Structure 1
Amino acid sequence: MKETMTAILMYMQKHVSDEITIEDIAVHFGYSKYHFSREFKKFTGFSAADYLSSIKIEQAKQDFLKKQRSITDSSFDAGFSSLGTFSTMFAKKTGLSPREYKNQVESLYDLAKNYDDTTSTSYYAEKIQEEDSYQLSVTIHYPKSYQTSITFVGLFNSSIPNHKPVVGTALQKKVQHTFTHVPKGKYYLLACSIEKTFNPLRYFVLDDCLRGKADYPLQFPKDSSKEIDIYLREALPEDPPILINLPKLLSDTFKFRNP
C-alpha cells in the first residue's frame, strides 16, 4: 500500500463531497475494509476515518470563510448528512462551533498580530507534572527569504493535527525551543509557519502554510533530551489538513510565558 498511498489520499480528497465510506475506498483500491484501515494507519499515523472527516471539515471551513457561503450549505456540500453532526465534529476538532469560528476570525487575528509584534514565546502543556516528564529540543529551519510571522510547533497524539498538542509553542523571532513538560508516551512532532500577511484568513485556512515534521514518532522517555531539526517546506497535495485553531490555542490555552 505504501506505493499507492499518495493516490489513495488524492482519491479521498477528490471525492470528499460524496457520501463515500471507508469501505468504498478500500474496495476501489482492491482491499478489504479491515486490511485497508490497518495498513492506512500504519503508513500515515492516523486512521482513514479521521482523515476523511478532517478533509470534509476543512472543505466546509474554506467554503464558509473564503467563499462567504452559509454554514449549512457548506456542511452539506462537504458531504455531511446533518448540520448537527457537522457542528459537533467541527467543535471537537477546532474548539469552536462553526458559527463561533466564523464570528471570531477578526478578534483572534488581532490577537495573533499583537503577539507577532512581541519578542516573547508562548508555551502550552496539556498537563503539568514534574515527575515522569521529559525534555526535547527543537530547531526550526526556514527556506531562504521566507519571512515568518508565527511558527507553531507541538507534540501530537496523531500525525494529523486536528487536536490540541500535548505540549506546544508559538515561536516569534526564534528558531529554537526546548519543551520541558513532555509526559511519557508516543508523539508526533509537527510544525507549521504562517508567513507575514495582512489577510486574516491566512491564520485560519492553513492549506498553503509551510509545514514540517520529525521523520519518525518520538517515544518518551527513550527520546528524552534529544535535539530534533525540522525543515519547513511547502504543503504537498497529500498532506493532511491542519484543523487546529491556532489563534484560539494561542488565546485560550497557552499557560506559560518564556522570555
Structure 2
Amino acid sequence: MWQHYASPLSLEQLADIASYSKFHYSRMFNELTGTSPGRFLTAIRLFMAKRHLLETEASVTDITYRVGYNSLGTFTSRFTRSVGVSPTRYRALAHGHQLPPLVPAADRTGHGLSAVCGQLYFPSQAVGPVRVYVGAFNTPIVEGHPQAFDVLDEARPFRLTVPDGLWFIRAAAVDLDDCASRSPIRPPRLVGSGWAVRARGGRVYSTDVQLREVTPLDLPILLALPELDGARRTTKIAFH
C-alpha cells in the first residue's frame, strides 16, 4: 500500500499478494493494524496528499489523481474531514505557519463528563527531548478533531476530559528540535496506544500508553496536529 497508493488496489489483489483468502486477509490485517485494509489505504492516500501539498506546487486537482482519487469532490471532503481543514487551506496555513491551535470537542461543547488519565512509558533506550501529543478519538485512526487532547513537554501524567462514549487513546512523540524548527513536516518518532475507554457517568478512567518506534503497520497521523500546532513551547525534557 505504501508503495502503490496511487494505484486502484482491490481487496482481492491485496489478499492475493499476501497469499490469503480475502476474508482471512481482512481479519489478520485488522488484528495487526487495528483497522480494515480499505481504511488503511485511505489513510495512506490522505497522508501522502499532505506531503504533496507541502512539498510540491502541484494543484489540488493534480494531487487528487496522484494519490489515487478520481473525484476532486470526494478527495476534498475526505481530506477536510480527516485533517480538519481543506487541502487549499492546509497548504496556505502550513506555508504561513499560522494553523491555529486545535480545540478539543469537549472544550467546544462544554459537555465533557468523564476523565481519562494515564502515564506515558517510553522505550528502554534514552529518547531525548520530545513533545508528546495524546488524544481521544472516536475511531482507531488519528483523524479529524480529537474529542480531547493533552500536549506534554514534561514528564507528567496526561488527562483527557471526554463525554460518554467509546474513545480510542492515541499518542505521538515528536523530537523537540523538530518542534522548534519552521519545517511544516514533523513526522512522529514514537507512537503508542492505550486501552479503548467506554466512558460514562462522570467517572475517572485509567489507561497507560507504551510508546514505541514507528513501523509501516502504524496508521498515518492525518490531523494537522502534531505537525502544525499553534503553541510553540520551549521546555526540553529528556524522557528515558
- State the TM-score bracket (shorter-chain normalisation): 0.7 to 0.9
Residues 1:147 and 2:134 are matched in the alignment? no
Alignment deviations for residues 38-58 of structure 1 (CA, whole Å, 9 cap, x no partner): 664455332332221111111
Partner of 2:172: 192
Residues 1:219 and 2:198 are matched in the alignment? yes
Partner of 1:169: 150
| SS of structure 2 residue aligned to 1:104 | helix
Looking at structure 1, the residues matched to 31 and 196 of structure 2 have their Cα atoms a distance apart, in angstroms, of 12
Residues 1:94 and 2:74 are matched in the alignment? no
Partner of 2:4: 15
Looking at structure 2, the residues matched to 177 and 58 of structure 1 have their Cα atoms a distance apart, in angstroms, of 27
Q: Please, which of 198, 201, 207 is the counterpart of residue 184 of structure 2?
A: 201
Q: Please, which of 210, 214, 234 is the counterpart of residue 213 of structure 2?
A: 234
Q: Please, which of 149, 153, 158 is the counterpart of residue 139 of structure 2?
A: 158
Where do residues 16-35 of structure 1 align in structure 2 (5 Å cutoff)? 16-28=5-17, 29-32=19-22
Structure 1 segments, 4+ long, off by >6 Å, are: none
Give the direction of change, closer, same or farther, for the CA distance of 1:27–1:240 in structure 2 (3 Å limit).
same
Looking at structure 1, the residues matched to 129 and 55 of structure 2 have their Cα atoms a distance apart, in angstroms, of 24
TM-score, length basis structure 2: 0.76
Give the direction of change, closer, same or farther, for the CA distance of 1:240–1:97 in structure 2 (3 Å limit).
same
Structure 2 stretches of 5 or more lacking a match? 231-240
Partner of 2:116: 136
Identity of aligned residues (%): 26
Residues 1:49 and 2:30 are matched in the alignment? no
Give the direction of change, closer, same or farther, for the CA distance of 1:43–1:110 in structure 2 (3 Å limit).
closer
Give the direction of change, closer, same or farther, for the CA distance of 1:43–1:187 in structure 2 (3 Å limit).
farther
Aligned 8 A contact 1:61 1:74 in 2? no
Looking at structure 2, the residues matched to 84 and 50 of structure 1 have their Cα atoms a distance apart, in angstroms, of 18
Looking at structure 2, the residues matched to 102 and 72 of structure 1 have their Cα atoms a distance apart, in angstroms, of 13
Give the direction of change, closer, same or farther, for the CA distance of 1:175–1:202 in structure 2 (3 Å limit).
farther
| SS of structure 1 residue aligned to 2:150 | strand
Give the direction of change, closer, same or farther, for the CA distance of 1:46–1:157 in structure 2 (3 Å limit).
farther
Task: Tell me which protein shows more helix as a share of its residues.
Answer: 1
Partner AA of 1:236 in structure 2? T
Shift of 1:250: 5.3
Looking at structure 1, the residues matched to 71 and 99 of structure 2 have their Cα atoms a distance apart, in angstroms, of 33
Give the direction of change, closer, same or farther, for the CA distance of 1:247–1:45 in structure 2 (3 Å limit).
closer
| SS of structure 2 residue aligned to 1:201 | coil
Structure 1 stretches of 5 or more lacking a match? 1-11, 113-121, 252-259
| SS of structure 1 residue aligned to 2:209 | strand
Aligned 8 A contact 1:184 1:221 in 2? yes
